[in-house]
């Protein structure tokens, strides 16, 4: 029995879920990179002047939106990688703060969780 109390098949299931999520994140990241490249070249083509070019503000807005989505995707990728490395070293499902099992319900809802619900509440509250 591991410290997390999770069975080997359960751990294998999380590994599969996290790997699929990683693949999706990576795909999203490359789609985003392409969209951001489009915005950049649209800006360069139009020599966009945000003051006068009607397309300017739209492109700026689109850029901020893509940038925010990209940051989110990068953060998620990071969280997924961290969870996968915890799976590899046997600490997956163990609270990083108190060392108690995180609990299967929380892990099912949030496989990247590093903290048990009590510690997460303490930290966010
Ligand atoms: Zn805890």
Residue 118 Cα, ligand 1 centroid: separation in angstroms? Answer: 6
Does any domain span residue 62? yes
Does any domain span residue 58? yes
Does any domain span residue 68? yes
Does any domain span residue 75? yes
Q: Does residue 90 register a pLDDT over 90?
A: yes
Other residues' Cβ atoms within 10 Å of the Cβ of residue 66: 17
What is the per-residue pLDDT for 49?
A: 54
Q: How far apart are the first and last CA of the chain?
A: 32
Does any domain span residue 103? no
What is the per-residue pLDDT for 110?
A: 96
d(CA 81, CA 79): 5
Find residue 4's DSSP bridge partners.
none
What is the per-residue pLDDT for 1?
A: 52
Q: Which residues surround ligand 1, an ion (CB under 5 A)?
A: 95, 97-98, 116, 119
What is the per-residue pLDDT for 51?
A: 56
d(CA 94, CA 121): 16
Residue 124 Cα, ligand 1 centroid: separation in angstroms? Answer: 13
Does any domain span residue 3? no
Does any domain span residue 63? yes
pLDDT tens-digit series, residues 2-54:
688 999 999 999 999 999 999 999 999 999 999 999 988 988 876 555 555 66
What is the per-residue pLDDT for 118?
A: 96
Q: Strands, E, within the chain: which ranges?
A: none
What's the total number of domains in the chain? 1
What is the per-residue pLDDT for 59?
A: 85
Cβ burial of 87 (10 Å; 0-12, 13-18, 19+) is: buried
pLDDT tens-digit series, residues 91-123:
999 999 999 999 999 999 999 999 999 999 998
Residue 125 Cα, ligand 1 centroid: separation in angstroms? Answer: 14
Domain assignment of residue 28, given as a range: 8-92
What is the per-residue pLDDT for 54?
A: 60
d(CA 84, CA 121): 24
Does any domain span residue 113? no
Q: Does residue 84 register a pLDDT over 70?
A: yes
Residue 42 Cα, ligand 1 centroid: separation in angstroms? Answer: 49
What is the per-residue pLDDT for 43?
A: 81
């Amino acid at each position: 029995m591991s410290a997390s109390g999770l069975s080997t098949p359960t751990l294998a299931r999380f590994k599969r879920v996290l790997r699929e999520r990683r693949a999706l994140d990576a795909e999203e990241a490359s789609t985003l990179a392409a969209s951001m490249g489009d915005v950049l070249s649209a800006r360069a083509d139009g020599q966009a002047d945000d003051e006068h070019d009607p397309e300017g503000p739209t492109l700026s807005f689109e850029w901020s939106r893509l940038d925010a989505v990209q940051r989110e995707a990068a953060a998620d990728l990071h969280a997924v990688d961290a969870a996968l490395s915890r799976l590899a070293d046997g600490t997956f499902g163990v609270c990083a703060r108190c060392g108690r099992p995180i609990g299967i319900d929380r892990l099912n809802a949030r496989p990247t969780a590093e903290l048990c619900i009590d510690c997460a509440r303490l930290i966010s509250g």
